[in-house]
């Protein structure tokens, strides 16, 4: 059956190909509209696993070709985006970065509270204080020691 489908698809015109893809996309969109969160997560997990298996089998040359193609497609999609689309994308990206940074700083505060008692049992901990733009950071000295040490 697959061989027949592959043969008929190889003989279809570009217009027929685009029409078939369009119909397939619509059908997929309809089926996913009623999908539950768990179903979606299962589908995406399965998709990631298939992708990982396929990529683990590809050659170095194949990987380089795929990455080059991905870069070209990425550049093309960015070249055609409007100002509003770009601003929306960048705003969303900033929000994700801010949320990650906030979560990280919350973790740092928890570490400081744990260490505030004066006794540390950790191998090594460092505080990272990020500047607002997130591109630079300063490391402060080790807060922990290999052995439990009472700080004076």
Residue-wise pLDDT for 3-44, tens only, equals: 667 667 777 888 888 898 899 999 988 888 888 999 999 999
Residue ranges of domains in the chain:
99-152
* Helix/strand/coil for 35: coil
Name residues whose C-beta falls within 8 Å of residue 147's C-beta, 6 or more positions apart in sequence.
none
* Helix/strand/coil for 138: strand
pTM assigned to the model = 0.38
* Helix/strand/coil for 141: coil
């Amino acid at each position: 059956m697959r061989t027949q489908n592959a043969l008929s698809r190889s003989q279809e015109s570009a217009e027929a190909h685009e029409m078939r893809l369009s119909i397939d996309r619509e059908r997929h969109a309809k089926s996913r509209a009623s999908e539950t969160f768990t179903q979606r997560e299962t589908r995406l997990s399965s998709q990631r696993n298939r992708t990982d298996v396929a990529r683990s089998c590809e050659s170095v040359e194949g990987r380089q070709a795929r990455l080059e193609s991905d870069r070209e497609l990425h550049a093309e999609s960015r070249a055609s985006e409007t100002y509003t689309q770009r601003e929306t994308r960048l705003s969303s990206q900033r929000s994700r970065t801010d949320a990650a940074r906030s979560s990280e700083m919350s973790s740092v505060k928890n570490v400081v509270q744990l260490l505030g008692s004066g006794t540390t049992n950790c191998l090594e901990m460092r505080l990272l204080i990020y500047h607002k733009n997130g591109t630079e950071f300063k490391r402060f000295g080790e807060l922990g020691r290999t052995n439990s040490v009472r700080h004076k």
